[in-house]
Amino acid sequence: MNTLDAIKARRSVRGFTDKQIGDADLDAILFAGGQAAVGGADFKSLKLYAVQDPELLKAIDEASAKRRPGSHPLYGAPTLVVLASKESILPSIEFTNAGCVIENMMLAATDLGIDSIYLWMSMYGINDDPDIIAKLGFPEGYTCVGTMALGYATKEFPKLKADEQRIEVTVIK
Ligand SMILES: Cc1cc2nc3c(=O)[nH]c(=O)nc-3n(C[C@H](O)[C@H](O)[C@H](O)COP(=O)(O)O)c2cc1C
């Protein structure tokens, strides 16, 4: 799949089957994350974790649902990638780095036929729960700055305005 096709094919999936993704695919997706543009090339400020332990996924799902009781913010995904960051050498750049790293991984997943979604809600669930942070093993000074669920969709999810520009554009020549 070429890059533009992957960009068009990616869409957020909000329901996953139990089928786990393969280890080689997970490695390729995490590698893509490490190839992202990162401000100041401060790669040391970032750490990636891939969670496939059902108990830890359940704990993150429950902790993340506290702001919306009854919901399942991980949508049943069998893999959750967690990006942690400490303060970067460039102040306040952490969430921008997260966007680049996670978008790279979502596009790599699309290329491999794996469904994904960028998840903000689970970031709160992780950061609010010291037990979860301990289980993930963040070093001192690191917090979660973004997460991404991976797996296989339970059904086709509609693409939002897939064939048209979704952001207003101005070209100045
Ligand atoms: C930074 C960020 C955080 C997001 N967090 C969530 C989330 O917590 N839950 C969710 O269902 N979707 C989340 N999304 C997905 C967006 O809702 C989705 O990208 C948007 O609706 C556009 O749809 P598309 O991804 O299918 O193109 C997030 C997206 C981004 C970029």
CA end-to-end span of the chain, whole Å? Answer: 32
119 forms bridges with which residues in the sheet?
147
User: Is there a domain that residue 96 lies in?
Assistant: yes
Q: Is 40 left (phi over 0), alpha (psi -120 to 50) or beta?
A: left
User: Is there a domain that residue 102 lies in?
Assistant: yes
* Tens-place pLDDT, residues 128-155: 999 999 999 999 999 999 999 999 999 9
User: Is there a domain that residue 78 lies in?
Assistant: yes
User: Is there a domain that residue 37 lies in?
Assistant: yes
* Average pLDDT value for the chain: 96
Mean pLDDT of 67-88: 96
C-alpha 89 – ligand 1 centre gap (Å): 28
CA–CA distance, 32 with 107 (Å, rounded to integer): 9
Q: Is the pTM of this model over 0.95?
A: yes
Which segment of 14-18, 74-78, 163-167, 168-172 scores lowest on mean pLDDT? Answer: 163-167
According to the model, what pLDDT value does residue 30 have? 98
Name, in order, each residue with C-beta under 8 angstroms of 69's C-beta and a sequence gap of 6 or more: none
CB 33 within 8 A of CB 81: yes
CB 160 within 8 A of CB 13: no
For a pLDDT cut of 90, what percent of the chain falls above it?
92
User: Given the CA of residue 99, which atom of ligand 1 is nearest to it?
Assistant: 1
CB 15 within 8 A of CB 88: no
User: Is there a domain that residue 159 lies in?
Assistant: no
User: Is there a domain that residue 164 lies in?
Assistant: no
46 forms bridges with which residues in the sheet?
85
Nearest residue by C-alpha to atom 21 in ligand 1:
12
Count of domains observed in the chain: 1
Instruction: Give the range of the structural domain holding residue 123, as residue numbers without chain letter.
Output: 3-151
Mean pLDDT of 7-30: 97
